[in-house]
Structure 1
């Protein structure tokens, strides 16, 4: 068995009172992260305003992103979006009764 082999769908924490963030891999200017939400949203005030570009995909579940320009984008399993650096956004909704698993890649 390959000791490096892992599944993105395994080892999901039972207690998801807080959204779960896990860095899967990183090197230089690239970081790959697994995010697990269950009804979580971003804080009511403020926006994510990241110095890096972000490519994000929903692998399971469903989520909604709101952008500071008023756009709302719903992503379901298999859908992805590119968010340029400093494009202000937030997670405005995730399914409350299902684990939403996001795969995010941050890069410059």
Structure 2
């Protein structure tokens, strides 16, 4: 609850990642286009390899639960 990536930290994985938010609320931030992607339960996103991203925000009173599947392209 209320967890986000540390300031200045970016995930940068060599694998693709499909991620779905199962509960809570969150905002993902993508470095390339400075885009914020708000997520609610059931929302999902495909993140390409080496697409730098971070968890900018999660709900402070609801548990955010993610399912992430990583795979090689």
Q: Please say whether Structure 1 and Structure 2 have the same fold, judged by a TM-score greater than 0.5.
A: yes
1:84 aligned to 2:48?
yes
Query: In the alignment, which of 20, 29, 33 is matched to residue 66 of structure 1?
Result: 29
Give the paired residue count. Answer: 71
Two-structure CA RMSD over aligned residues (Å): 0.6
CA distance in 1, matches of 2:58, 2:26: 4
CA distance in 1, matches of 2:71, 2:4: 23
Where in structure 1 do 4 or more consecutive aligned residues deviate above 6 Å? none
For 1:29-49, what per-residue CA distance to the aligned partner results, in whole angstroms no more than 9, with x for missing partners? xxxxxxxxx100001013111
Offset at 1:105?
0.5
Of structures 1 and 2, the larger Rg is shown by 1
SS at match of 1:73: strand
Structure 2 stretches lacking a partner, 5+ long: none
TM-score after normalising by structure 1: 0.64
TM-score after normalising by structure 2: 0.94
Q: Which has the higher contact order (CA 8 A, sep 6+)?
A: 2
* Other-structure match for 1:105: 69
